[in-house]
C-alpha cells in the first residue's frame, strides 16, 4: 500500500519544528529516520496529514561525553551510536544493544530519538534507557522539560510526550561496573522475543548495585526494581538469580503472538536475564 496524501515540511530549527507540530496538532507527526513511521503510514495505521522532517535540524545531532555525563541528540543514528569510540568507552552497552537492532541498512537511517519516542514495546532502546536511568529532554511550545525513561512509557505507542513536543536529547550518567544487552529473536533483523538490559557493580565479590530492564514482554518496557533488590547485597549465587528471575517474571506481562505463547516468552525472558546477569557480572 502507499500512504495517504500528506504535506511535507522541512524546518531547520527545533523552534520551527515545534511551531509546526503545535499548528497542526494531531494531524502532524515528526519524522526522523522513517523506519517505523513510514511502514505505519503505508499500512494506514498512522494517519498523518503533515509530516515534519527533522533531518535538517543540526542541533538534534551528535554525541557528547562530558565527564561522567553522556548526552545524545535525538537525530543521532543507531549507526553513529555504534561508530562512536568515546561512547563505547563511556557506555559500551549502547554499542552492544545497537548492534542487535535490525540490520545495517536500518541502523544507518534509524535514529535513537525515533526508537525511544516511538513507544513500540518491540524497540530495543527504551528498555536500555530505563536500565541506564536516562532522562529525555522534550521541547514544546511551553518550553523544555525533562522526563525519565522510567516514567515516559504509558502503554503501547502512548508516552508522556505531548503532541507539540519534540524529543531533543537523551542524557544519562556513564554506568559503573559491568553491562550486558542480551536479546533473543527469531532471526537476524527481527524484533526481540525477549531482551534484557543489565548493569551490575561488584565490590569484594558482592553485588553492590544493579539495574535491569526487559524489552517486548509487556506493552511498555519493564524496569524490574524487585529483581534488582533480589541481587543487590548477594554474591549472585543460585538462590539470588532464581529470586531475580522470579521477580522479573512477576513484573512482565507478555501476550501470545507469532513470537510464541505466554509461558514460552516468560521462559525465554528468564534465559536472557540469566545470561545478561552472568555476562554483566563477568565484566564488573
In angstroms, the Cα distances linking 66 to 125, 134, 137, 168 are: 21, 15, 17, 18
Q: Is there a contact between 168 and 73 (Cβ–Cβ < 8 Å)?
A: yes
Smallest separation, CB 177 to ligand FAD (Å): 24
* Cα distance between residue 247 and residue 214, in whole Å: 12
Contact with ligand FAD (CB under 6 A) among 14, 18, 20, 30: 30
Contact with ligand FAD (CB under 6 A) among 87, 128, 134, 166: 166
Nearer to ligand FAD, 32 or 251 (CB): 32
Element containing residue 58 per DSSP (H, E): none
Smallest separation, CB 209 to ligand FAD (Å): 26
Contact with ligand FAD (CB under 6 A) among 24, 136, 152, 191: 191
* Cα distance between residue 206 and residue 235, in whole Å: 5
- Interface with ligand FAD, residue 76, by CB under 6 A: no
Residue nearest to ligand FAD (CB): 114
Which DSSP string do the residues of 114-149 spell out, in sequence order?
Answer: HHHHS--TT-HHHHHHHHTT-EEEEEETTEEEEEEH
Contact with ligand FAD (CB under 6 A) among 123, 135, 218, 220: 123
- Interface with ligand FAD, residue 90, by CB under 6 A: no
- Interface with ligand FAD, residue 68, by CB under 6 A: no
* Cα distance between residue 161 and residue 140, in whole Å: 9
238-251 vs 262-283: helix axis angle to the nearest 10? 130
Task: Give the x/- contact pattern for ligand FAD in 124-153, rule: CB under 6 A.
Answer: xx----------------------------
How far apart, in Å, do the first and last CA atoms of the chain sit?
A: 49
Binding site for ligand FAD (CB under 6 A): 29-37, 54, 74, 101-102, 106, 110-111, 113-115, 117-118, 123-125, 166-167, 189, 191
Amino acid at each position: 500500500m502507499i500512504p495517504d496524501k500528506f504535506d511535507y515540511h522541512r524546518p531547520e530549527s527545533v523552534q520551527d519544528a515545534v511551531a509546526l507540530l503545535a499548528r497542526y496538532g494531531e494531524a502532524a507527526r515528526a519524522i526522523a529516520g522513517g523506519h517505523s513511521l513510514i511502514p505505519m503510514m503505508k499500512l494506514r495505521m498512522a494517519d498523518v496529514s503533515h509530516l515534519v522532517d527533522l533531518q535538517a535540524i543540526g542541533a538534534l545531532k551528535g554525541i557528547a561525553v562530558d565527564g561522567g555525563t553522556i548526552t545524545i541528540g535525538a537525530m543521532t543514528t543507531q549507526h553513529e551510536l555504534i561508530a562512536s569510540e568515546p561512547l563505547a568507552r563511556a557506555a559500551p552497552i549502547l554499542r552492544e544493544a545497537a548492534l542487535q537492532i535490525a540490520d545495517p541498512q536500518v541502523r544507518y537511517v534509524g535514529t535513537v530519538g525515533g526508537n525511544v519516542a516511538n513507544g513500540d514495546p518491540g524497540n530495543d532502546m527504551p528498555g536500555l534507557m530505563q536500565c541506564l536511568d536516562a532522562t529525555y529532554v522534550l521541547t514544546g511550545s511551553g518550553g523544555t522539560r525533562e522526563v525519565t525513561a522510567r516514567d515516559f512509557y504509558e502503554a503501547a505507542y502512548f508516552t508522556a510526550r505531548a503532541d507539540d513536543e519534540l524529543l531533543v536529547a537523551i542524557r544519562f550518567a556513564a554506568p559503573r561496573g559491568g553491562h550486558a544487552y542480551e536479546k533473543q529473536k527469531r532471526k537476524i533483523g527481527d524484533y526481540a522475543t525477549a531482551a534484557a538490559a543489565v548493569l551490575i557493580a561488584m565490590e569484594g565479590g558482592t553485588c553492590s548495585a544493579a539495574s535491569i530492564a526487559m524489552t517486548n514482554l509487556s506493552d511498555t518496557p519493564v524496569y524490574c526494581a524487585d529483581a534488582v533488590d533480589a541481587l543487590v547485597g548477594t554474591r549472585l549465587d543460585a538462590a539470588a538469580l532464581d529470586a531475580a528471575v522470579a521477580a522479573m517474571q512477576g513484573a512482565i506481562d507478555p501476550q501470545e503472538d507469532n513470537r510464541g505463547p505466554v509461558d514460552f516468552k516468560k521462559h525465554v525472558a528468564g534465559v536472557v536475564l540469566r545470561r545478561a546477569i552472568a555476562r554483566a557480572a563477568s565484566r564488573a
